[in-house]
Amino acid sequence: MRWVLALREKGVVVTRNMIQIKALTMVKATSSSSTFKASKGWCSRFMTRQGLSLRTRTHIAQKLPSDVDVKVSNFQQYVIKEQKLMEYELS
- 10-63, pLDDT tens digit by residue? 988 888 999 999 998 888 887 766 788 889 999 999 999 998 887 766 777 788
- Is residue 70 predicted with pLDDT exceeding 70? yes
**pTM listed for this prediction:** 0.54
Q: What was the pLDDT predicted at 27? A: 84
Per the CB < 8 A criterion, the answer to whether 20 and 43 are in contact is yes
Directed axis angle between helix 40-50 and helix 16-30, to 10°? 100
Q: What was the pLDDT predicted at 3? A: 92
Q: What was the pLDDT predicted at 77? A: 95
Q: What was the pLDDT predicted at 17? A: 92
